[in-house]
Structure 1
Amino acid sequence: MTTTAQLTVVGAINLDLSAHVSRAPRPGETVADGSLARQPGGKGANQAVAAARLGAAVRLIGAVGDDDDGAAMITSLEDAGVEISGVQRAPEPTGTALIVVDAAGENSIVVCPGANGHIDVAEITVDPHTAVLAQLEVPAAVVEYVVARTDGFFALNASPAAALSAALRDRVDLFIVNETEYAALPDLRDARLTAVTLGAQGAVLFRNGEEIARASAPARAVVNTVGAGDSFAAALTLGLICGDDPLVALRRACAVGAAAVADHRSQPALGVLSDYPADA
C-alpha cells in the first residue's frame, strides 16, 4: 500500500484454547492425542491484527474482561500495532473460544462470548468518516450503533450468520461470507457487493447479484484454517478502500488467506498487502 489506510474494526476479542488432534472426536468419543495451545483470537481481534500487519493504521472497538486474560489480549493487540483506546473492560470474563483442529487443518469452534456480549455503546467513540470492518460475534446493536454514526466504507463479515436488519442491509458496502453463510442469508443475493469465500477454491465477488470477479487461492500446505477467513476479510477490505480494482483486491485477499492457512496461529504473521500477488 502506497499510503497508510485508516480502518476501524468492531468485533470480538477472545482467548483461543486450541486442541490440535489427529482427527476430531465423533459424538460421545474421547480423542486423547491432543496438543493444547493458548493464543489470542476472536474475529475482531484477528481482523484488526491482520489489517495492522498488512500495513493499515487500525483501531479496534470491543471488550475484554477485567481479568488476566483480558490484560493479555490487550498486550497482544498493542504488540501487533493495533490502537486499543476503543477496547472496554467489561464485568464479565474475557471471551473464550474452544477450538479443535485436526491433522488436515479443519476446525470446529465453540465460542463463549463473555465480555464480547457486554460492550457499552454509550462508551463507544468513532471517527464519523472512518472505514469500518465489523462482524457478528458481538451484539448487532453494537454494529448498528457504529453504522449509524459513520459514513465511510463499511464492510461486514456476516459471521456467524444471523438475520440482517434493514439498517445493515441498506448501509453495508461490502458483505463477506463463506458458502454456508451465503446460503443462509438470502438478503445478500442483491446486496451491492458480496464476497463469498470458497475455501481452497478461492473466492467470488458479486455486485447486485452478478458475478464481477473470481480468484483462485494459491496452493498451500494447510496447518490451521482458523485465521484464514479473518485475514481474507482484512485484506479485501483494505484493498477496496485503497482503490484497488475489485479483481486485484480479491486476488490479493485470496493470497493472504492462503498464507494464513500455512500458519498455526489464529493471528498469522503477514507481510504488507502490496507484496501479495495481484495476478492470477
Structure 2
Amino acid sequence: MPMIAVVGSINLDLVVPVPHHPLPGETVLGGELAEHPGGKGANQAVAAARLGAQVAMVGRVGADADGVRLRAALEREGVNVRWVLAEQGARTGRALIAVDRETGENTIVVSPGANTALAPEHCAASGTVLRDASVTLLQQEVPAATVETAARLAGGTVLLNPAPAREDQAARADLRDLLDMVDVLVPNRTELAALTGRQLPDLHAVAEAALSLRGPSAVVVTLGEDGALLCEEGAVLLVPAFDVLPVDTTAAGDAFCGALACALAESRPLHEAVRHANAAAALATTLPGAQPSLPTRDEVEKLLGHSF
C-alpha cells in the first residue's frame, strides 16, 4: 500500500505572465498562455512522488480530454490513479493563474468543475488506501464533507493544508471541528489569519495564533521567503528559507506539503522534515508552472547538502 494517500483536487492550470497584477477594473496585456497539470491535491501528490514516495491519489476529473490528459500525467509521475475517476457531465477543474514577471508572485482563480463531485462515499470506496497509508494529505479545493470523511478514515498521520482559505464564519467553525482529526496543520499566513480571525502583523502574532489552535499536535506556518514557523507542544522554531531567485511561486506551497508528507512518512523528526520541505518549496519557485517546477529528490538533496 502507498506511503502517502492524497485526497484532493486535480486541475488544468492556465498560466499567463503579467507586468503587474491588475487592479479592479484594469486590463493588462500578458504574455504567452501556458497550460500545465495542476490542482493542489495533484501537485502535492506529484511533489511527494518525485521525492521517492509511493503515492495514491483520490480525486475526480471531468469526462473530457483534459481529464484524460491530467490522469495520464499523474500516472507518468508514478502516482497510483486507481481512485482518480471521470465524472460524467462535469468539466475538469481549471485554475486561471497570473504570474508577475518581476517578482514571480501569483494570483489564482479556481473553477472547481469535477472536483466538487468528489464525495464522502468516494473516500469510503477507496478501500484500505486511507487506512493503510502512513500519511494522508488533505487540502480544501474539494467539498468540506469529503475532507472530513478522509480525515476520519485515515489510519496514519493526517496532514491538512487549509487552502484555499475559507473566510465565512460557518466554514471557519467547520474547519475548527475538523482540526480534532488533524495531526499536522500547514497553513500560510493568510490561511492562519482566516482560520483564527486574527490580524498577523509580525512573527510574534503568527506564533500566538498558531499556538492558540486546538486539535493538531503541530502547526507549521509557511512564510515564503521568511521560511516556516514550527509550533509544537508550546515551543516555536523558525526554520529559515533557502536563498533562491524566484521565477514563479505557483505550487511552492504544494511542494512544501508534498515534501513534508514524504519526510514524515519516512519517520523523520518534524523539524528536519520542515527543513526538507523548505528546500523543495524554494526549488519550486525557480521554474515556471506548477507540476513542471516540482523538484526531484536529487535536486532537494543537492540544495540541502546531504541525503534527504
Contact 1:175 1:194 in 2 (8 A): yes
Deviation, 1:166, is: 5.7
Contact 1:144 1:167 in 2 (8 A): no
Structure 2 residue matching 1:263: 3-state secondary structure: coil
Structure 2 residue matching 1:70: 3-state secondary structure: helix
Instruction: Name whichever structure is richer in helix by fraction.
Output: 2
Q: Partner letter of residue 18 of structure 1? A: V
Do residues 78 (structure 1) and 75 (structure 2) align?
yes
Do residues 58 (structure 1) and 61 (structure 2) align?
no
Cα distance in 2 for partners of 1:256, 1:118 equals 31
Partner of 2:185: 175
Do residues 201 (structure 1) and 204 (structure 2) align?
no
Do residues 97 (structure 1) and 95 (structure 2) align?
yes
Q: Which moved more, 1:120-129 or 1:202-211?
A: 120-129
Task: Report the CA distance shift for 1:119/1:272 in structure 2 as closer, same or farther (over 3 A).
Answer: same
Cα distance in 2 for partners of 1:234, 1:167 equals 24
Matches within 5 A, 1:150-229: 150-162=154-166, 163=172, 164-165=174-175, 167-186=177-196, 188=210, 189-190=212-213, 191-211=216-236, 213-229=237-253
Task: Report the CA distance shift for 1:18/1:209 in structure 2 as closer, same or farther (over 3 A).
Answer: farther
Q: Partner letter of residue 143 of structure 1? A: V
Cα distance in 1 for partners of 2:221, 2:305 equals 18
Q: Can you give the 5+ residue segments of structure 1 that lack an aligned partner in the other structure?
A: none
Cα distance in 2 for partners of 1:33, 1:137 equals 26
Percentage identity across paired residues of the two chains:
41
Cα distance in 2 for partners of 1:210, 1:54 equals 29
Q: Partner letter of residue 99 of structure 1? A: I
**CA RMSD, aligned part only?**
1.9
Cα distance in 2 for partners of 1:235, 1:5 equals 15
Q: Which moved more, 1:223-232 or 1:260-269?
A: 260-269
Q: Partner letter of residue 44 of structure 1? A: G
Deviation, 1:25, is: 1.8
Alpha-carbon displacement from aligned partner over 1:87-110 (angstroms, at most 9, x marks no partner): 121131000001100111111111
Report how many aligned residue pairs link the two structures.
275
Structure 2 residue matching 1:161: 3-state secondary structure: coil
**Which residue of 276, 281, 286 maps to 1:252?**
276
Matches within 5 A, 1:108-123: 108-123=107-122
Matches within 5 A, 1:39-58: 39-58=36-55
Cα distance in 1 for partners of 2:72, 2:65 equals 11
Partner of 1:129: 132
Contact 2:119 2:143 in 1 (8 A): no
Partner of 1:237: 261
Partner of 1:6: 3
Q: Can you give the 5+ residue segments of structure 2 that lack an aligned partner in the other structure?
A: 167-171, 197-208
Q: Partner letter of residue 244 of structure 1? A: R
Deviation, 1:121, is: 3.1
Matches within 5 A, 1:262-273: 262-267=286-291, 268-272=293-297
Do residues 277 (structure 1) and 281 (structure 2) align?
no
The two structures have a TM-score, normalised by structure 1, of: 0.92
Alpha-carbon displacement from aligned partner over 1:167-197 (angstroms, at most 9, x marks no partner): 5211110000101111221285233211101
Contact 2:47 2:254 in 1 (8 A): yes
Task: Report the CA distance shift for 1:269/1:147 in structure 2 as closer, same or farther (over 3 A).
Answer: closer
